[in-house]
Amino acid sequence: MIRLLVVDDHELVRIGLRHILAGYPAIQIAAEAVDGESALRMNREFRPDVVLLDVCLPGLSGFEITRRLKQISPDLGIVILTVHEQAPYPAQLLEAGASAYLTKGCPATELVQAIQTVARGGRHIGSRVAQQMALDMLPGGKVSPFEELSAREMEVMLMLADGLKVADIAAAMHLSPKTVATYKYRIFEKLDTRNDVDMTRMAMRYGVVANS
């Protein structure tokens, strides 16, 4: 039996996953979480074999949650399930400790296969994601300036784009405000932007955050 922790803030997504996985008795949803803090708490309480994790969540994003989960439970399998298939999300989340990366448009059979593969200690990249990563590597392939950001810088960038202040980000990430301010300066420098508004517009233009 594979015990699964589902982390997604959209109720309809969680309902859909319950419906899909009900047809696979070897996979049991042990718990559900709607944000990063509850995901960390549920992981300690239910000790799942695999975490099915969205990237964009209230508060901590998938980058920081992945990093913390792997610190707490090094053998835990993490499957990213998100709408984002473009760079730099896949490479950075796999580097942060995720074992699989899928988009929410993947077939149900591929999702189940990824969960089973990760539970056995393997890795899986969704077909659409793998294709996009391969295309990006070709000469003349699309290059995103956000690929220059580290996983930590991406985490801070997403929170800034979500309207959070430096002090709030510092509290959420258990960092000092000075450290977060340094990350913010580096982000602006790497993206050649001057303020949060310019940065957010660029993130929307490259599809890193959704247009609101």
Predicted local confidence at residue 39, as pLDDT:
95
Predicted local confidence at residue 141, as pLDDT:
56
Q: Which two tokens stand for residue 124?
A: 């899986």
The answer to whether 98 touches 63, Cβ cutoff 8 Å, is no
Domains recognised in the chain with CATH numbers: 2-137 (3.40.50.2300), 145-205 (1.10.10.10)
CA atoms 91, 154, 114, 127: torsion sign: negative
Count of C-beta atoms within a 10 Å radius of residue 174? 8
78 bridge partner residues: 51
* Cβ contacts of 76 within 8 Å, gap of 6 or more: 43, 48, 49, 50, 51, 69, 70
3-state secondary structure of 156: helix
Tell me the CA distances in angstroms from 70 to 44, 131, 146, 181, one per residue in order.
12, 27, 24, 26
Helix ranges restricted to H, 49-195: 62-72, 89-96, 108-119, 127-137, 151-161, 166-173, 177-191
* Cβ contacts of 191 within 8 Å, gap of 6 or more: 145, 146, 148, 149, 199, 202
Q: What does residue 4 show for φ and ψ, rounded to 5 degrees?
A: -120, 135
The answer to whether 89 touches 61, Cβ cutoff 8 Å, is no
Q: Which residue type occupies 66?
A: T
Q: How far apart are CA 9 and CA 35, in angstroms?
A: 6
Q: Which residue type occupies 60?
A: L
* pLDDT, averaged in runs of 10, over the chain (212 residues): 96 95 94 94 96 90 91 95 85 91 93 96 88 67 79 90 92 92 96 94 85 62
Asked if residue 88 has a cis previous peptide bond (ω within 30° of 0), the answer is yes
